[in-house]
Structure 1
Amino acid sequence: MAMNSIVAPIEIDVPFPKPPVELSADEKNHHRSLIVELLKRHNAVLIAHYYTDPEIQSLAEETGGFVGDSLEMAKFGARHPAETLIIAGVKFMGETAKILSPEKRVLMPTLEATCSLDLGCPIEPFSEFCDQHPDREVVVYANTSAAVKARADWVVTSSIAVDVLEYLAEQGKKIIWGPDKHLGRYIQQKTGADMLLWQGACIVHDEFKFNALEQCMALYPEAAVLVHPESPQNIVDLADFVGSTSQLIKAAKELPNKQVIVATDKGIFYKMQQAAPEKELIIAPTAGEGATCRSCAHCPWMKMNVLQLLSQVFERDDNEIFVDHDLAEKALIPLQKMVNFANDIQVNVKSNI
């Protein structure tokens, strides 16, 4: 089984955004009221990712919108009757929503909200890498550009990545995986698939530190440790449960532990606390030897989704998502495979209940 680091990590030479200016309570209420009115006036719906700030997630819920992972966000947008989708997340999520709903207008608070995995997997070197291994099926994580998705045979989210790769491995397929090396390694270990890994990483999950987490576990010896598989191997090794965002929320609710240490973006705490209100949630530490605190367990680009920008989404001309028609058609093929595969899983689960 291959598990090779074929390419060196792409250096990401993009300055991190500055933290947003904190608003007063009156300013927040003003922007919230304005957003609610604008959503109604423009027949629009707000769709937010788990990693956005709680005030954005709560606003999505209160206005009939949605909070979820990237796959569920796009599926919700595709089936919702709204003419305009407001995507609070990072740019690839807006692109995915536009590809699955080409007839709808897709706006974002800012198109500058990006992702280290997307930045670390440019289409030109990734396509060249794929061309060097024409015998392999190309499977990419949803955290990629539309162009990279269009180059792929499959797109997956962390919630169904193991299932898809297990399916492909059973067919004897050899895989090129990109861009997250940690998630790729986790999938390979779970499925035994023959995988060549692109060497990308999420700046949030890559920051969790083994020694600091061990010390945290010593402070909370009764706590369950929940880890997203984008985290390094030594962090995954300490976990009581490893899974996607939606799977981690479910685990927090179902595990008997009253305390839960969580190794993913702390934006997830909003929905996790809803699901398990009686639990004490503790963010896994990013301190310790080798720490940079580039993210401090919260994506700096997700944090760009702020109320003041949301209230301006219909005023600006620099925040609408456009995807080239031919590129969108190519990217839709692996995306639709993912959606169909996820739907088949749900049907099979229901039929076995």
Structure 2
Amino acid sequence: MGLWDYLNLPEEELVERINEARKKRNAVILAHNYQRIEVQRIADFRGDSLELAKIASKTDAEVIVFCGVMFMAETAKIINPERTVLIPDFQAGCPLAAYATADKVLEFKKMYPDHAIVTYINSSAEVKSVSDIVCTSANSVKVVEYFPKDKGIIFVPDKNLCYYTKKQTGRENIICWEGNCYVHDRITLENVRHARQEHPEAVLIVHPEVPPEVQEVADFIASTSGMYRYVKEHPDTPAIIATEVGLIERIKDEIKGAKVYPISERAICSNMKLITLPKVLMALEENVYEVVVPDEIAEKARTAIERMLSIS
């Protein structure tokens, strides 16, 4: 069957066949918090990059279907070289990851040969392979503090997460790469002003990928897993959530009665939304699209990823 055939199937049949194929192939479906809600609902696990990386490192499934963007599927493959890893849409890339290449990082490193390279998980396998350690938005502070205070850091590729990490650790010897997530970097103080006018009783929780001026006026700064936990632990506290709208959909789906509001209805990652139920079913039934990472790159990247997992 081709994609067009799957697109014409009703949702009930899609879900039924996904469940059948998952069982038949001993597959696990992982979905990031920014996925469409119908995709999140058929997943075995949903979470942020760190949570899903940990799950991928421990799974005994023969097949991993990663509903996310390419760097996430690559990470799953790197830590599971013997397993089949599928991504339902091969075009689901991450513009943030494209800000850095291995060649550019190595060239920059020549100017700071004694600095360690700390790379955000939102990066290519090639960039991870030339890094000392990987981090996520949930553990960037802990990862940087893994190094002695006098050790210089090159933080790749998100400048806003770097700003947050630099401020939280109090370290001035961190050099920030000039990259950003277009979804978070477009969140402005005007968005904050409007959201607080609409919901004056709500706390403002922002992702550390938002610009510094937005971080400065937030009540809390947290990764998507941290945002989720806050709402779950404070179900009666209204919250404005400054991240991609998929997380708000997950919260409303799982935490009944939660009062959460997106800082902007336009905070949508079009790359994440490329994954759909028809594509998930096609991935399972047609074995597409298999993620391949060259052994030499995977081996080096695995070291950086496992170093992160060992301290998280």
**Could you say which TM-score interval applies, normalised by the shorter chain?**
over 0.9
The corresponding residue for 1:334 is 304
Alignment partner of 1:85 is 2:55: no
Alignment partner of 1:48 is 2:31: yes
Q: Secondary structure at the match of 1:139?
A: strand
Alignment partner of 1:301 is 2:284: no
CA contact (8 A) 2:248 2:261 kept: no
1:75-96: CA deviation from partner (whole Å, max 9, x where unpaired): 2123222100000000001110
CA contact (8 A) 1:123 1:147 kept: yes
The corresponding residue for 1:7 is none
Query: How much does 1:285 deviate?
Result: 2.4
Q: What is the identity, as a one-letter code, of the residue corresponding to 2:296?
A: D
The corresponding residue for 2:101 is 122
Residue pairs, 1:199-218, within 5 angstroms: 199-218=178-197
Alignment equivalent of 1:261, drawn from 236, 240, 257: 240
Q: What is the identity, as a one-letter code, of the residue corresponding to 2:275?
A: N
Q: Secondary structure at the match of 1:119?
A: helix
CA contact (8 A) 2:76 2:85 kept: yes
Query: How much does 1:237 deviate?
Result: 1.5
CA distance in 1, matches of 2:174, 2:197: 36
With structure 1 as the length reference, what TM-score do the two structures score? 0.83
Alignment partner of 1:188 is 2:166: yes
Alignment equivalent of 2:216, drawn from 212, 233, 237: 237
Q: Secondary structure at the match of 1:167?
A: coil
The corresponding residue for 1:27 is 10
CA contact (8 A) 2:74 2:292 kept: yes
CA contact (8 A) 2:235 2:257 kept: no
The corresponding residue for 1:166 is 145
CA contact (8 A) 1:250 1:275 kept: no
CA distance in 2, matches of 1:169, 1:268: 35
The corresponding residue for 1:310 is 280
CA distance in 2, matches of 1:145, 1:24: 30
Query: How much does 1:316 deviate?
Result: 4.6
Query: How much does 1:165 deviate?
Result: 1.3
Q: Secondary structure at the match of 1:168?
A: coil
CA distance in 1, matches of 2:92, 2:301: 21
Alignment equivalent of 1:73, drawn from 45, 52, 56: 52
Structure 2 runs not aligned, ≥5 long: none
CA distance in 1, matches of 2:148, 2:262: 35
CA distance in 2, matches of 1:240, 1:25: 45
Q: Percent identity?
A: 35
Q: Secondary structure at the match of 1:313?
A: helix
Query: How much does 1:168 deviate?
Result: 2.0
Residue pairs, 1:147-166, within 5 angstroms: 147-166=126-145
Alignment partner of 1:175 is 2:158: no
CA distance in 2, matches of 1:85, 1:273: 26
CA distance in 2, matches of 1:111, 1:256: 37
What number of residue pairs does the alignment pair up?
Answer: 308
CA distance in 2, matches of 1:320, 1:71: 22
CA contact (8 A) 1:182 1:230 kept: yes
Query: How much does 1:270 deviate?
Result: 3.4
CA contact (8 A) 2:162 2:176 kept: yes
CA contact (8 A) 1:169 1:192 kept: no
CA distance in 2, matches of 1:78, 1:285: 34
Alignment equivalent of 2:295, drawn from 302, 317, 325: 325
With structure 2 as the length reference, what TM-score do the two structures score? 0.93
CA contact (8 A) 1:52 1:302 kept: yes
CA distance in 1, matches of 2:250, 2:194: 26
The corresponding residue for 1:8 is none
Structure 1 runs not aligned, ≥5 long: 1-20, 287-295, 343-353
Question: CA separation of 1:165/1:83 partners in 2, compared to 1, >3 Å: closer, same or farther?
Answer: same
1:325-351: CA deviation from partner (whole Å, max 9, x where unpaired): 111110011101111001xxxxxxxxx
